[in-house]
Amino acid sequence: RGKPKTSHRFHCTTFQLSILFQFNHRDSLTFGELQTNTMIDNDKLDQLVKQLVSFNVLALSKQSVDGVTKDTEMQVTDLLQLNLNYSNRKIRVNLALPLKSESKQETEQAHQSVKDDRMLVIQACIVRTMKSRKQLKHSLLLAEVMQQLQNFQPSVPAIKKCIGILIEKDYIERLDGENDTYQYRA
């Protein structure tokens, strides 16, 4: 709106564009109005608006609730204003930066969950192999497990750890006098 001194070309995502389109007829909107008009998920809209605020395209006025303002999350009453005095040395401005999809803790939990699931898959493979072969040398058991698991390539230490767990659970045992041979226990 209005005649800017210099025109800028924004490269942005569809979601960012839908937010910016809301300011075609009004200079300011509340976060709640944006949420209602765009129908974007609350968490995603929060990230998108904060991104546009960080680029100085929008200005944020935090509305206090009971005299306390929260800096972490956007509130429905927070007022967003289009920055009519936007300036940038670049004519082409890239606003399309990737959103933070997961926190570091969530990523670590996902990796740990995958690791635990893989350990269970390795254990199941060892039990299946030992159940069919009854007795097997350590090197042959390692080779058989690596051959059977096609979805991922397990590491030798992971297989050894699973063998140790299965020995503790009494699924398999070492033969007396032969430390490198395992026997299935029914």
Is pTM beyond 0.85 here?
A: no
HEC per residue, the chain: CCCCCCCCEEECCHHHHHHHHCCCCCCEEEHHHHHHHHCCCHHHHHHHHHHHHHCCCEEEECCCECCECCCCCCCCCCEEEECCCCCCCCCEEECCCCCCCCCHHHHHHHHHHHHHHHHHHHHHHHHHHHHHHCEEEHHHHHHHHHHHCCCCCCCHHHHHHHHHHHHHCCCEEEECCEEEEEEECC
How much is the average pLDDT of 156-163? 93
Residues in the chain: 186
Q: Is the pLDDT of residue 159 over 60?
A: yes
Burial class (CB in 10 A: 0-12, 13-18, 19+), 19: buried
Task: Give the residue among 169, 120, 166, 115 at the shortest CA–CA distance from 141.
Answer: 166
The tens digit of pLDDT for each residue in 76-128 reads 888 999 988 888 888 898 888 776 665 677 788 889 999 999 999 999 999 99
Report the percentage of the chain scoring pLDDT > 90: 44
Q: How confident is the model at residue 23 (pLDDT cuts 50, 70, 90)?
A: very high
What is the structure's pLDDT at 63? 65
Q: Are 58 and 52 in contact (CB under 8 A)?
A: yes
Pairing of strands 172-175, 58-61: unpaired
Q: Is the pLDDT of residue 65 over 70?
A: no
What is the structure's pLDDT at 100? 65
Rama region for 66: left / alpha / beta (φ>0; ψ in -120 to 50; rest)? left
What is the structure's pLDDT at 38? 92
How much is the average pLDDT of 31-49? 90
